[in-house]
Structure 1
Amino acid sequence: MKIEDALNESEKVLTPKRYAHVERVTETALDLVKKYQGNEYEVGLAAALHDYAKDMEILLLKQWILDHHDLPKDLLDYHHELWHGPVGSKMIQSLFMIQNHDIINAVRYHTTGRIHMTKTEKIVFLADYIEPGRDFPAVYEAREIAKHSLDRACHYALENSIHFLMSKEQPVYPDTFFAYNHLTKQLS
């Protein structure tokens, strides 16, 4: 599957606003690939498909989680905004026969992050956070950090995501804490 084909598939299932976000994430991710010598194909495909399940019905996402033994059931204890990554990773495997683990994991963990993220996963995670359509206080600093360090920018994004969720008294998915802790140890 080509990156353009992946974008076309995403466009079929997303609202125009969400699809415009996917285009910006893909562009941002491909810019980060050049800077950090990532795999252009893996990153481009994962970025183009990262929100594939985002606009799907909550009940459908829940059913996918219940039906797939390798998706953690504890996802259902957290906000449904987290569900589209893991479900989307299963959908792209099933619908498009994608077997590359870096692509699958980049889609799966693009919202939460995880411990031991690969370069592809980090780039897609960060591109989703800093794409030009985003406008919140921490994004400007994240963009600046991304010019110098992929790991520090991911760490900053994780830290700010945790702070944001805590300020709203929302639970934080454990993968986000694990990713933050892992990068904290790596960067110290």
Structure 2
Amino acid sequence: MDRINLKEQLGRYRTPYEEESSFIQDFLELTEDPLAYGRERLDGHFTASAWIVNRKRTHTLLTLHRKLGRWLQLGGHADGNEDLLEVAMKEANEESGLKSLEFVDKTIFDLDKHIIPERPHVPEHFHFDVRYILEADLYEPLIKSDESISLAWVAFDSVQDVIGYNPSILRMLDKTSKSEILL
């Protein structure tokens, strides 16, 4: 999926979740900026994530992010790649070591615009995260990357206990339980 396809998908994207709906236009506008796919765009840029679930839809794979110190879905920076579908798969594979990863659907699963705190040499900025849903074998061995403190399959009914309150992850969890594409 390149910039044109992303813009088309964003134009068709609808969500019943008010917060998510409120920033679709921001994502659409960002597609017009050729610098939006690189982290050099300091006020905000695209990232891509993978919401990974097992085939029976009972668990999701989460990482305890080293820099942020929070449990999150796997994903990362586009680093100039305008194919965010490809970025999501690459990041999921690099951060988990899973070879069984497959897209459940190649359309956008979720969108989230969130602030990244300032760090040395990096100002506070926004991530415009485009998320896709993937599935993998729950029993395949995991290989943790340097970006993670930990990596774990978390049962759906334990996600909130593990992550605390993170509305975007809870939204993806809710979508997973309601989605017809997952059956």
Q: Give your verdict on TM over 0.5.
A: no
TM-score (norm. length: structure 1): 0.27
TM-score (norm. length: structure 2): 0.27
Q: Higher relative CO (CA 8 A, sep ≥ 6), structure 1 or 2?
A: 2
Q: Which has the higher strand share?
A: 2
Q: Which has the higher helix share?
A: 1
